[in-house]
Structure 1
Amino acid sequence: MKLLSSYLKMPAPSSWNEFPLGPNYRFEIQQHMQPWWPKFFGFYLLKIGALSTEIDTRECAIPHQINVGERGDQMQVIADLNQLPFSEKSSDVCLLFHTLSAVEDPYRFLREVDRILVDDGWLVISHFNSFSLLGIGKLLPVIKRRQPYVCPMFSRMRVLDWLGLLNYEIVHQIGFHVLPWHHRGEYSMNIHLPAISCLSLIIARKRTMPLSLDALKLRTPKRCFSPVSTENYKI
């Protein structure tokens, strides 16, 4: 609890430039997102969190792209992330680029995002991997109070567990950027060492299933005509 409280005392970063090598992280995320922008469709795309607003989404064809956050000049909607001012099932795509580290209760925040996301809508999440060189930096007394080590970090399996509880289908997941100080030329390391990569990217879709089966579908269809026994009839 003391560790979590120390995280929350420090405000969440409002720009990638506040991270050492932050522009490199943003560049890597944008590179991995390029094949996915044409696949998103709908009317409303929400970029939730300050770091999400700085990701270039011009290749996405969704017409209405809205920046949502608790503060910042680029925000079009200022709101508490745990109580988003949108109606249920009103957004087609929600982008959470390193937003889980900026909220006190990530799972509660994911449930709020799930509320406003339409059925079969897209959810994109990026975050720092706790099992990486950045995660090791959180153990060093000299740098653990600096960015990005002061931010909460999660393993990819933990985020996948949260999405599984909310019944999301994982369409794509990848770990990349194994060495924090590199932003190019490490493709072989990304292939062979994805578990210890500094950045994780998860693309999921909201799937809905009925809590109970329809009784009408389970009902045995009635026969229009019942067979009549001819044993008691004599001609």
Structure 2
Amino acid sequence: MAKEGRGRQQRVTQEKKRNVDQDKKSVADQKREFQARYAEEHQLGEGGCGAVFAGYRIEDRFPVAIKHIPKNKVYCKVADESGKKLSVEVAIMVKLAGEAEGSVGISAPVSLLEWFDLGKELILVLERPVPAVDLQKYKAENGRTLTEDKAKVILKQLVDAVKELEDKHIFHRDIKGQNILIETGSDVPRVRIIDFGLSCFVKQRSLYRIFYGNIFCSCFSQMEQFVSFVLEEIAIVSVC
């Protein structure tokens, strides 16, 4: 067990260093490294920011999720210490991985293992909890409604996870059924949060005027504003 623990710690340290040094490598080198370390399998899903595939780490067949993000779908960016623009999703996942070293399988947000910049696209290699389904499928498998006890367990974990992100000045901005995984390997459901593609770093007392996320998963006030905007646009077009 001690040897296994040391091996895991060494791997985490290596992955952390790779995440920091990744932008210093050429596209060709990064592509070779990705292909040498990971095997990609079937597609798991696709959204507005990219597509996700199942896969595994060749070294130990550790299950991973491989997310392909075209550069033209990187909607949110942040400047790093050198002033270079970086995908906010990458920056946040690297920050979470750096602050919780050895958190693979432990933290509520799934862990970033490595990322690669292949020129026209980014590839994020993420932890893939197994077995797990998203919240929508979990509800469908449980008769489309959850018992109060199960709902309380899931909601408590979700609130705790969001609060922890807030304490780290991170706002997910797209929490919905498809982005909440439920691990089903035990009697108690366990919440994992995925897809930080629209997330951002939070600054105290900042005002955020641009809506990100799925409008149909937003609060009533946001939905009301959206409907009013659409009606105004329709009226303008009708007049013209």
**TM over 0.5, yes or no?**
no
Larger Rg: 1
Calculate the TM-score normalised by the size of structure 2. 0.31
Structure (1/2) with the larger strand percentage: 2
